[in-house]
Structure 1
Amino acid sequence: MLILRKSQDRGQANFGWLNSKHSFSFGHYYDPKHLGFSSLRVINDDIVAPGAGFDTHGHRDMEIISYVLEGSIEHKDSTGNIQTLPAGEFQLMSAGTGIYHSEYNASKQHPLRFLQIWIKPNKIGNKPNYQQKNFGKAAGLTTIATPNGGNATLQITQDAKLHQLIVRSGETFEFEHSTSNKVYIHLVTGTAQLNNTVLSAGDGAQVIDEEKLVFKNESHADMTALIFELP
């Protein structure tokens, strides 16, 4: 069974400099039916105005993933990292005992769009850690984060995996997983038929008792999805 979360049903916040859509309850948006899924707590689709951004603020005991879709992020944090994240880049910040950081749109002319993802860790009080990598845009499944950081993936403090799936126009991809894992799908771009359910960009789906997931891209453009395997 797939429990669909349509893009237009997400929570919204517009502060002028920031236009954000929330898949789960966040900030001033609260919906008791959408508080998270397993250890997945936040998927925010953020559009940041040119030159604007998030002033220095703190996090603790949370795995925070940023995935840049358009533009670039200027990142600074209290552990000494000063980085630029261009489109296509993944960043994993393990907040642990506490970390302060700021995120700004690196451009004064063009908007920044990125996904901000929070996953609750299975260990608390760890030393803060920062990781960043571009995994490219190869067709098929690319694993982004794993518990042990094997095969050059980002290491996440949770018994979870994050995958990027790209399916070319007219192609099909079959994803199999253990039914002991909870799976959440977030469609980033394009459209797809997932086990006879149509997903459009921004849609999410909880996967319940579906061992096999078949993605069919019948559109004329590539489809990109994030697949979360959760405890």
Structure 2
Amino acid sequence: MPEMEPAVTIQRSAERYLSVREGIETRHCFSFGDHYDPDNIGFGDLTAVNDEALAPGSGYDLHRHRDAEIVTWVLDGTLEHEDSAGHHGTIRPGTIQRMSAGAGVEHAERNASADDSLRFVQMWLRSDGVDRPSYRQADLEAHLDEPEFVLAVAGGHDETAAIDIDRVGAELWIGRIAGGVDVALPDAPLRHLHVVRGGVAIDGEQLADGDTMRIAAPGAHRIIAEGATEVLLWAMHRSS
């Protein structure tokens, strides 16, 4: 019989693949670019989770994507986005952004500041086949002080989500949690928990900034924040 995948897998920040280029440092949760690992090409709907640090004025020139839902969450600084479909956006902490690449689109991303560093997490998911590129962003700042997860992105036209994506069954929940607060994770067959600031205790484990946990079974899990903490949780209701 084939070996069963563990129900819970932890990836520490230092275990992620590191890419360095002029003015840019990226840590990848999955195989990406020159970092190919056949045992780590994605998890559920996710094909990339990249933690990006850009020096002042640096960034990515126009480059092409297709058949992907690209979701971006800024932690520090200001990100400028433009694409070949005519969309332009300024994304700051508290703003969620989604670009559907459709059958093909070029986009550029830069640190908008000449003085301040930029850090953001960019997450890619498989698309359900939309042809036309599209773009949306939404300000969540007013909702993030609540002691619970906020539904930022969801596939399937869930009207409770701030933004929809073209991937049915995928949900991005964001939590800013005060120290000592105990919060339940939204349930799903597959979940990817990413601590982007602070730390949490979960199932007897400690997760710090940059650590991730992959949960490959439904069921109850709770996290306790260790100081001011920010987490991204992808809850996925199908496996492919």
Q: TM-score range with shorter-chain normalisation?
A: over 0.9
Matched-pair contact (CA < 8 Å) for 1:149–1:156: no
Q: How does 1:189-200 map to 2 (within 5 A)?
A: 189-200=197-208
Q: Residue 153 of structure 2 corresponds to which residue in structure 1?
A: 145
Deviates more, 1:69-78 or 1:145-154: 145-154
Is 2:135 the counterpart of 1:130? Answer: yes
**For the residues of structure 2 that align with 1:33 and 1:25, how far apart are their CA atoms?**
9
TM-score, structure 1 as length reference: 0.93
Residue aligning to 1:11: 17
Paired residue secondary structure (2:221): strand
Task: Tell me the residue number matched to 2:42.
Answer: 36
1:47 equivalent to 2:53? Answer: yes
Partners of 1:27 and 1:200 in 2: how far apart?
Answer: 26
SS of residue matched to 1:50: coil
**Mean CA deviation greater in 149-158 or 112-121:** 149-158
Q: 1:110 is paired with a residue of what secondary structure? A: coil
Q: Which moved more, 1:81-90 or 1:19-28?
A: 81-90
TM-score (norm 2): 0.90
- Deviation, structure 1 residue 141: 0.8
1:154 paired residue number = 163
1:18-43: CA deviations, max 9, x gaps? Answer: 11101111111122221110110101
Confirm whether residue 207 of structure 1 aligns to residue 215 of structure 2: yes
| 1:43 to 1:197, Cα distance in 2 relative to 1, 3 A | same
Secondary structure in 2 aligned to 1:100? strand
CA distance in 2 between counterparts of 1:141 and 1:175 reads 8
Query: Secondary structure at the residue paired with 1:163?
Result: strand
Q: In the aligned structure 2, how far is the partner of 1:82 from the partner of 1:222? A: 32
- Write the mapping of 1:170-185 to structure 2, written as runs, cut at 5 A: 170-178=180-188, 181-185=189-193
- Whether the aligned pair in 1 keeps the contact of 2:190 and 2:218 (CA below 8 Å) is no
Equivalences, count: 226
In structure 1, the gaps of 5 or more residues are none
Query: By how many angstroms is 1:16 displaced?
Result: 2.5
1:96 pairs with 2:102: yes
Following superposition, which runs of at least 4 residues in structure 1 exceed 3 angstroms of deviation? none
- Residues 1:125 and 1:174: Cα distance change in structure 2 (over 3 Å): closer
Percent of aligned pairs sharing the same letter: 30
Structure 2 SS opposite 1:26: coil
**Aligned counterparts of 1:158 and 1:2: Cα–Cα separation in 2:** 24
CA distance in 2, matches of 1:146, 1:52: 31
Contact 1:67–1:116 (Cα < 8 Å) also in 2:
yes
